Amino acid sequence: MSFIATMNLVLLLPTFSIFIGVFSEEVSQPGTVNVGAIFSFNTINGKVARAAMKAAEDDINSDPSVLGGRKLSITLHDSNFSSFLGIIGALQFMETDTVAIIGPQSAVMAHVLSNLANELQVPLLSFTALDPSLTPLQYPFFVQTAPNDEFQMAAISEMVSYFSWSEVIAVFSDDDQGRNGVITLGDKLADRRCRIAYKAALPPDSMAKRHDVSRELEKIQMMESRIIVLHTDSKTGLLVFEVAKSLGMMRKGYVWIASSWLSTVLDSISPLKPEIANSIQGALTLRPHTPDSKRKRDFLSRWNRLSNGTIGFNSYGLYAYDTVWIIAHAVRLLLDQGGKISFSNDTRLNGYTGSGLNLSALNIFDGGKQLLKNILETNMTGLTGHVQFNQERSLINPSYNIINAVETEHRLVGYWSNYTGLSIVPPETLYSKKPNRSSSNQHLDSVVWPGGETARPRGWVFPNNGRELRIGIPRRVSYRDFVLLVNGTNKVQGYCIDVFLAAIKLLPYALPYRFIPFGDGHKNPSYYELVSKIKSGVFDGVVGDVAIVTNRTRIVDFTLPYIESGLVVVAPVKKISSSAWSFARPFTPLMWAVTAAFFLIVGSVVWILEHRRNDEFRGPPNQQLVTILWFSFSTMFFAHRENVVSTLGRLVLIIWLFVVLIINSSYTASLTSFLTVQQLSSPIKGIETLISSNERIGFQVGSFAEGYLREELNIPKSRLVPLGSPEEYALALEKRRVAALIDERPYVDLFLSNHCKFSVRGQEFTKGGWGFAFPRDSPLAIDMSTAILALSENGELQRIRDRWLSKRACSSDNTEDDIEQLDLKSFWGLFLICGIACMLALLVYFWLMFRQFSRQRSEELDTTSPASSRSARLHTFLSFVDEKVERSKSSSKRKRESMSRNGYHIDDESTRRSVRMERSISHERQNGET
* 32-146+305-388 matches 149-294+398-441 in fold: yes
Average pLDDT over residues 596-620: 69
Contacts of 340 (CB under 8 A, 6+ apart): 366, 367
Distance CA 499, CA 801 (A): 9
Q: Give the per-residue pLDDT at 22.
A: 37
Q: Over pLDDT 90: what percentage of the chain?
A: 48
Average pLDDT over residues 126-154: 94
Question: Has residue 350 got a pLDDT over 70?
Answer: no
pLDDT band of 151, cuts 50, 70, 90? very high
Domains in the chain: boundaries? 32-146+305-388, 149-294+398-441, 469-565+773-805, 570-575+681-767, 582-675
pLDDT band of 3, cuts 50, 70, 90? very low
Question: Has residue 930 got a pLDDT over 60?
Answer: no
Average pLDDT over residues 226-253: 94
Q: 3-state DSSP call for residue 883?
A: coil
pLDDT band of 1, cuts 50, 70, 90? very low
- Yes or no: say if 258 and 239 are a contact pair by the CB < 8 Å rule: no
Distance CA 51, CA 39 (A): 12
Residue type, position 574, single letter: K
pLDDT tens sequence across 750-762: 888 888 888 888 8
Q: Give the per-residue pLDDT at 774.
A: 95
Contacts of 561 (CB under 8 A, 6+ apart): 548, 768, 769, 770, 771
Distance CA 56, CA 191 (A): 41
420-429, 598-607, 881-890: least confident range? 881-890
Instruction: Give me the CATH topology for the region 469-565+773-805.
Output: D-Maltodextrin-Binding Protein; domain 2 (3.40.190)
CA 511 to chain centre: 31
pLDDT band of 913, cuts 50, 70, 90? very low
pLDDT tens sequence across 506-562: 987 778 889 999 988 888 899 999 999 999 999 999 999 999 999 999 999 999 999
Q: Give the per-residue pLDDT at 463.
A: 63
**CA nearest neighbour of 749 among 691, 680, 804:** 804
Residue 230 has a CB neighbour count (10 Å cut-off) of 24
Q: Give the per-residue pLDDT at 198.
A: 94
Q: Give the per-residue pLDDT at 464.
A: 58
Strand residues in 145-242 grouped as ranges (E): 167-173, 195-202, 227-231
* Phi, psi for residue 101 in degrees, rounded to 5: -125, 130
176-190, 367-381, 505-519, 856-870: least confident range? 856-870
Q: Give the per-residue pLDDT at 309.
A: 86
78 strand-pairing partners:
39
345 strand-pairing partners:
363
pLDDT band of 468, cuts 50, 70, 90? confident
- Yes or no: say if 101 and 37 are a contact pair by the CB < 8 Å rule: yes
Sign of the CA dihedral running 597, 599, 603, 606: positive
Q: Give the per-residue pLDDT at 884.
A: 62
pLDDT tens sequence across 799-826: 999 988 875 545 444 444 445 666 666 6
Question: Has residue 244 got a pLDDT over 50?
Answer: yes
**CA nearest neighbour of 256 among 269, 242, 268, 270:** 242
- Yes or no: say if 129 and 103 are a contact pair by the CB < 8 Å rule: yes
Q: Give the per-residue pLDDT at 377.
A: 95
More confident site: 836 or 268: 268
CATH code of the domain occupying 149-294+398-441: 3.40.50.2300
Considering the domain 32-146+305-388, what is its CATH architecture? 3-Layer(aba) Sandwich (3.40)
Average pLDDT over residues 124-138: 93
Residue 619 DSSP label: S
92-96, 183-187, 257-261, 710-714: least confident range? 92-96
How many angstroms separate the most distant Cα atoms in the chain? Answer: 159
Average pLDDT over residues 662-687: 68
768 strand-pairing partners:
565
pLDDT tens sequence across 79-117: 887 878 888 888 888 888 899 999 899 998 999 999 989
pLDDT tens sequence across 551-593: 999 999 999 999 999 999 998 886 655 555 556 667 777 777 8
pLDDT band of 905, cuts 50, 70, 90? very low
Question: Has residue 24 got a pLDDT over 50?
Answer: no
**CA nearest neighbour of 345 among 365, 367, 372, 368:** 365
Q: Give the per-residue pLDDT at 651.
A: 76
Question: Has residue 773 got a pLDDT over 80?
Answer: yes
pLDDT band of 921, cuts 50, 70, 90? very low
Question: Has residue 355 got a pLDDT over 70?
Answer: no
Q: What is the CA radius of gyration of the chain?
A: 49
Question: Has residue 224 got a pLDDT over 90?
Answer: no
Contacts of 68 (CB under 8 A, 6+ apart): 332, 335, 336
**CA nearest neighbour of 507 among 274, 907, 791:** 791
Q: 3-state DSSP call for residue 207?
A: coil
Mean pLDDT score across all residues of the chain: 82
Average pLDDT over residues 332-336: 94
Question: Has residue 912 got a pLDDT over 90?
Answer: no
Q: Give the per-residue pLDDT at 891.
A: 43
More confident site: 601 or 530: 530
Average pLDDT over residues 122-128: 95
CATH code of the domain occupying 570-575+681-767: 3.40.190.10
Query: Residue-wise over 700-709: b if at least 16 C-beta within 10 A, else e?
Result: bbbbbbbebb
* Phi, psi for residue 18 in degrees, rounded to 5: -65, -40
Question: Has residue 925 got a pLDDT over 70?
Answer: no
pLDDT tens sequence across 675-717: 555 455 567 878 888 888 888 999 998 888 888 999 889 999 8
Q: 3-state DSSP call for residue 777?
A: coil
Distance CA 75, CA 77 (A): 7
Q: Give the per-residue pLDDT at 54.
A: 95
Q: Over pLDDT 70: what percentage of the chain?
A: 77
Average pLDDT over residues 177-186: 95
Question: Has residue 201 got a pLDDT over 70?
Answer: yes
Q: Give the per-residue pLDDT at 560.
A: 94
pLDDT band of 875, cuts 50, 70, 90? low
Residue 256 has a CB neighbour count (10 Å cut-off) of 26
Give the DSSP per-residue string, 675-744: HHSPEEE-S--SHHHHHHS---EEEETT-THHHHHHHTS---GGGEEEE-SHHHHHHHHHTTS-SEEEEE
Average pLDDT over residues 889-903: 46
Q: Give the per-residue pLDDT at 73.
A: 95
268-272, 631-635, 703-707: least confident range? 631-635
Distance CA 835, CA 404 (A): 85
Question: Has residue 32 got a pLDDT over 70?
Answer: yes
